[in-house]
Amino acid sequence: MTYTTENPLRVVTLCSGYDSQCLALERLKREFPPFDHELVAWAEYDPLSKTPTPYQPAQKAHNALFPQWADRNLGDITQVDWESVPKCDLLFYSTPCQSISQAGLQHGFAEGSGTRSSIIWNVRDAVKALHPKYLCMENVAAIVSAKFVDMFNLWQNALAALGYVQFPTMLNALNYGVPQNRERMFLVSIRDDEQEYPQFNAPKQMPLKKTLRDVLEQNVAEKYYLSNKMLDYFNRVDADKTHGQS
């Protein structure tokens, strides 16, 4: 299948944020014409925000980058009638990582647990209704840690039951031109009737030619610096060793 302006790749993104997925597709469009895509629906909503929905930061960022698709936000994915959503070829879902990440409380993402990360199970409803050719998940590396790998396997089994072949792949940003040691787990799923033997190969690694110095701004506004009051506080905390730091 060739995706062009006349026949664009139809995409849905869930827990979209500002939609780095679409930024990647925009780059693909620039570098490999005549490829084209259309974001037929996206979903971004912060249930903990006290800001009205259209003014939540991630939604404002998304609409600034992609104003042509501002009216296609589905909002809370736990409340969507998926049968009314346009069909798509590719579904991206980068569900919250707070309950999985080592930086969080690691309450997990078991179905029905009510954690922020457990809304991954609502994605199953989207897959059932939309039945895309391709799925792509991105999450923190801890999702395949000893603590959570069984849950991750349950999720893969759920997708397999819906007719998808799984390709879990760990990628690190530093192997793709970014001067940051940032591991992320990607799960690419291909509908098993799309190819006789579905295959997926991770992108080839490239030499790292940049350093942190290359991406840091030379002139930074004063408002982004810590105040003397905050610096004094951190120095006191570091000195008294009562916060568990080494």
Name the residues annotated as catalytic: 97
Summarised one tens digit per residue, pLDDT across range 86-144 is 999 999 999 999 999 988 889 999 999 999 999 999 999 999 999 999 999 999 999 99
Are the C-beta atoms of residues 157 and 189 closer than 8 Å to each other?
A: no
Q: What is the pTM of this model?
A: 0.88
Judged on CB neighbours under 10 Å (0-12, 13-18, 19+), 106 is: middle
Summarised one tens digit per residue, pLDDT across range 41-99 is 999 999 999 998 889 999 999 999 999 999 999 999 999 999 999 999 999 999 999 99
Structural domains for the chain: 9-216 (3.40.50.150)
Handedness of CA 17, 69, 120, 188 (dihedral sign): negative
